[in-house]
Structure 1
């Protein structure tokens, strides 16, 4: 018994004619009859009665036809969905990431992906840190995580996409705003706006400051990079943050971003449980975002003066 046997039987019941089904399927009448006979042999019951003007289902045939009318249509629909999913045309992609990631890294990629896969859906789950993203990914139910890459995580595969140089975000007119670059000694005793707790960026910055012997104070903090930069532009303090292209332009008229070349760049990218187990749709989304993010990373590198 095959799906083709059941589909042909459905067609025979609907048309009442073996020859009509053969014409529709572009095959011979004996071939259509063989599908029906195969079902009858496996079930041990006659399913159709042959008459001069065609065929009609027997009692057993009516029972099978009623069941198939409800179930086979749903199965065919599911198979079409699975076929679309296999070809990367339908289904959903589930991503976990930080609050600012879509704005800074994914906006162009999302637009491009939707244009190429209009039937696909995107589901975003916000997490507070790269560690939280990896934990949510490991728990199952998600396809991809965009994280700041650091040490390897057991059971998680990482793929770097973009390197982010560090800058000092400072208000226009501040004495440090005109520097061509910032050295560790320039940060001695400045008031830094604290980066998010438990974030990879904060841990990396703390290690670098400690290793450089730099002592800074902090009387304010922010829940994300965007807030830290806004506070710096308002003159609340200084923010040492990865350079992101969205902070350059008319939207931040009082902001200056001064390069910190001695601080090793952060690397951001994708994390998954297994790349070879991703659906074609999830791979297409990851590749699209990576392509656009790599271009943004080149734009994010601050100029020699840090001015626009």
Structure 2
């Protein structure tokens, strides 16, 4: 069993096709098959089986795939970190997260990191959900994932950074805009702008609605939180969002953010395959973001309920 055998096997499981892997590696299909057969001979079990279209891992193959994926991802990361140590300050930190969270959670940390390490590269990979971020992380395509924390994910360690209270974002002319807080009974009648499908925030919010017995009707779905704010401004509906650090809603602006204390806060933070195996650059960037959010949380704790914090 060689590393090349495992890499080819992983590629076959992901592509579901021997010929596709052969094309990507610029080799013959028989060469790809030899890698898989060598693993099967050594293990003594069939790892992939033919299907009407392509191939798929057997139960034994699925076990090996998950183990090999995490192991090779960690090995590749370690080798890259060793090259960074050998070559100096330069290096790459690969981060995966949702499309708008970089703007809301990381701009100050990015500026500080770039000032300290001008030769380092921050490589951001957008993903549509926490689940997809964790898949990219586990597969070695990212060093860090900024996610909504919740259910455990095999081979990944999660670290909470900040709890965000929920707010109702509404057009300034809406009757609810004048409230200091929004109560559960108010939520029953709102025109709810739903979060992206399959997102952790949507699942958490729907669970909270059920808990409070106040599930509102849905008017439209959106791809990200910023779009939800825009639709609320246009009067299309009401957006129930986490109280983001850079929501940027001024007291005299076209929209208001009204706290919803009955909804349990949502926790966001970092995930990594192994914290103690992160490169020094990745660990430093994670710490910079966490420090920024700690300052925001301290400001939020000192702000009376319902007071705007966008200028802080």
Query: Partners of 2:308 and 2:85 in 1: how far apart?
Result: 51
Mapped pair 1:166 → 2:146: no
Runs of 5+ unmatched residues, structure 2: 1-81
Retained in 2: the 8 A contact 1:105–1:296? no
**What pairs with 1:1-308 in structure 2 (closer than 5 Å)?**
82-85=85-88, 89-250=89-250, 253-299=253-299, 303-307=304-308
1:18-38 superposed Cα distances (whole Å, 9 cap, x missing partner): xxxxxxxxxxxxxxxxxxxxx
The answer as to whether partners of 1:149 and 1:160 remain within 8 angstroms in 2 is: yes
Q: CA separation in 2, counterparts of 1:305 and 1:81?
A: 47
Native 8 Å contact 1:178 1:305 kept in 2: no
Distance, in Å, in 2 between the alignment partners of 1:150 and 1:223 is 21
State the 1:119 CA deviation. 1.2
8 Å CA contact retained: 1:257, 1:306:
no
1:300, distance to aligned residue in structure 2 (A)? 5.4
Q: CA RMSD in A?
A: 2.2
Q: 1:196 to 1:306 in 2, by over 3 A?
A: farther
Q: CA deviation at 1:297?
A: 3.6
C-alpha contact 1:244 1:300 (8 A) present in aligned 2: no
* Residues 195, 225 of structure 2: 8 Å contact kept: yes
Aligned length: 228
CA–CA separation in structure 2 for the residues paired with 1:299 and 1:173? 28
DSSP 3-state at the match of 1:193: strand
How far the C-alpha of 1:252 sits from its partner, in A, is 8.0
Mapped contact 2:170–2:257 kept (Cα < 8 A): yes
Q: Over residues 176-228 of structure 1, what are the superposed CA-to-partner deviations in whole Å (9 max), with x where a residue is unaligned?
A: 11111111111113210011111111101111111211131112111111111
- Report if the CA contact (8 A) 1:192-1:237 is conserved: yes
**CA 140–307 in structure 1, closer or farther in 2 if over 3 Å, else same:** closer
Once residues 81 and 248 of structure 1 are traced to their aligned partners in structure 2, the CA distance between those partners, rounded to angstroms, is 38
SS of the residue corresponding to residue 223 of structure 1 reads: coil
SS at the partner of 2:290?
helix
Shift of residue 299, structure 1, vs aligned partner: 4.3
Distance 1:286 1:170, change over 3 A: same
Q: What CA distance in whole angstroms lies between the structure 2 residues aligned with 1:303 and 1:234?
A: 28
Bigger drift between 292-301 and 169-178 goes to: 292-301
Q: Could you tell me whether the CA contact under 8 Å between 1:191 and 1:216 is conserved in 2? A: yes
Per mean C-alpha deviation after superposition, the further-off stretch among 244-253 and 120-129 is: 244-253
Separation (CA, whole Å) in 1 of partners of 2:174 and 2:307: 13
The answer on whether the counterparts of 1:259 and 1:306 sit within 8 Å (CA) in structure 2 is no
Rg larger in 1 or in 2? 1
Q: Is the 8 A contact 2:251 2:308 kept in 1?
A: no
